[in-house]
Amino acid sequence: MKNTPFDFDALSLLAVDLPESLKSLRYAGRFDEELREIDRLLSDRTHPVYEPILRRRLELERIIASGVSYDFSVTWADMMEKFRADYPGFEEKDLLALIDSGHADTLIGPEPLPAGYRFQVDAYDNLTDCCEGYLYELTHPGEKFSPSRNNLRHEAMEHMRAHGKMAWRFTLTESIMPKDDFVRPGKRFRAWLPFPAVTPEQSGIELISSNRPVRIDVHPIRTAYAEFDMAPGEGLEITLRFTNTAVYHDLADERAETGYPDEVKPYLEEQYPHIRFTPYLRLLAKELTDGLDNPLAKARAVYNYVTSHVKYSYMREYRWMDNIPEYAAMNGRGDCGVQALLFITLCRLAGVPARWQSGNACRPTSVGSHDWALFYVEPWGWMPCDPSYGGGMHRNGDEEGRAWYFGNLDPYRYVTCTEFQRQLSPAKTYFRFDPYDNQSGEAEYEDMRLDPWETVRSKRVLHAEMVE
């Protein structure tokens, strides 16, 4: 399967249901058996002989089943051992409480519970971050935890209110290369590194240096692309610079106007497999916005729901998910992109155009993947919204911060993607690390797929400064 090209349009087939035998095995967490059942169903000797659409769906499921098995490799015993090492006195009931908090992406395997819980590989880091208060009070009996205030974000809020905007210039370096075990000397290596998108927020975009000749297109998922013959210890590395300017918006319901221009109408439509108007999400959008005619009030009602209902959780890779927004609504958990997609889908259902934007949170000393959303209301046009930052503020009792991230952002952003689920330029041959955007880089050989865990990807801030 590593040398089988992937049809990017097949992603929409995630909306197609699976045969009963596969569903039973998948939901029981029996992925090795699911893979064998897929092979059996696709065999020429098996009845029924599936028509092309379902065959393509099963081939896609084969990739997903193998990936989910890897991504959820942390067992209940593994997680208990980690917590007991760092938090003496930690008991099984405490891990169950953390699961119930909504901050852990879990699957259930074939063993009896709780031993049957399987955790996503980053779950421990996420739980210790998001459940800091619970863990502090567990290990400090009688003391009350006080969440810290995010001073960097509040400084940006105060500056933008006073001056109308705030701008930061960042210089970054990014790289991607195969791990030592996956170096194939002489084979053609193809690499795509994120590059600043052309947006109203970003200016002064420049490529400072590159160790390879690169191609940079103006594209919804913007990258610096290179291909070259692989040699040990070599990859693609670039250094870039840009300025991000955040503009302050003072939004008021009474100033909002109904209607929108024709060019934003596509952002009211479905986009399979994830921006999908399922019966449940239709009902939910109606319930949240029932009786509201004002488009700004509708978008705010959706935002308030997402920021209060969905708990932040590191997630399995998006390429292993069938319907991201419905997962968030039904399970009450999700990371930044999951929350943004739920916001976008519910806004579209409520008649408010909404779209994707992503790249990285780019702070003065660190850079990390991040997603958010835009929504359209006249007379302002496209307004930003960051449900995960807003939800984090809400979780810490910071309602000023929660309100800010509906209609405003901070300038600590590095925008690389302005659309969701677009092919790369040039197109990637094999299944992508992330089929929906590109925040940390993609790579493949001319004749073989690479997976994220087979590469080394890095990005870091070299210099950051506020500019006038």
Measured in Å, how far apart are the chain's first and last C-alpha atoms? Answer: 52
Closest CA to 431 of 417, 447, 418, 444: 444
- What is the CATH code for 249-407? 3.10.620.30
Task: Answer yes or no: is pLDDT of 160 > 80.
Answer: yes
Task: Answer yes or no: is pLDDT of 45 > 80.
Answer: no
Band the pLDDT of 172: cuts 50, 70, 90: very high
Q: Which two tokens stand for residue 277?
A: 């108007």
Contact, 68 vs 107, CB < 8 A? Answer: yes
Contact, 38 vs 65, CB < 8 A? Answer: yes
Summarize pLDDT for 17-33 with one digit per residue, the tens: 999 999 889 888 888 89
Contact, 251 vs 193, CB < 8 A? Answer: no
* DSSP annotation of 444: E
Model pTM?
Answer: 0.93
| pLDDT for res 47 | 62
Contact, 337 vs 361, CB < 8 A? Answer: no
Span 336-362, average pLDDT: 97
Q: Which two tokens stand for residue 18?
A: 């699976």
Question: DSSP assignment of 314-375, as one string?
Answer: --S-GGG-S-HHHHHHHHSEE-HHHHHHHHHHHHHHTT--EEEEEEEEE-SS-EEEEEEEEE
What percent of the chain stands above pLDDT 90? 76
Band the pLDDT of 330: cuts 50, 70, 90: very high
Summarize pLDDT for 229-257 with one digit per residue, the tens: 999 999 999 999 999 999 999 999 999 99
Question: DSSP assignment of 171-232, as one string?
Answer: EEEEEEEE-GGG--TTSEEEEEEE-----TTEEEEEEEEESS--EE---SB-EEEEEEE--T
Task: Answer yes or no: is pLDDT of 427 > 70.
Answer: yes
Contact, 63 vs 431, CB < 8 A? Answer: yes
Summarize pLDDT for 70-79 with one digit per residue, the tens: 888 899 999 9
Task: Answer yes or no: is pLDDT of 105 > 70.
Answer: yes
**Which residues in 37-87 belong to E strands, given as ranges?**
74-75
Span 45-51, average pLDDT: 68
Span 2-9, average pLDDT: 87
Band the pLDDT of 115: cuts 50, 70, 90: very high
| pLDDT for res 66 | 85
Q: Where are the domains of the chain?
A: 8-71, 74-139, 154-245+418-467, 249-407
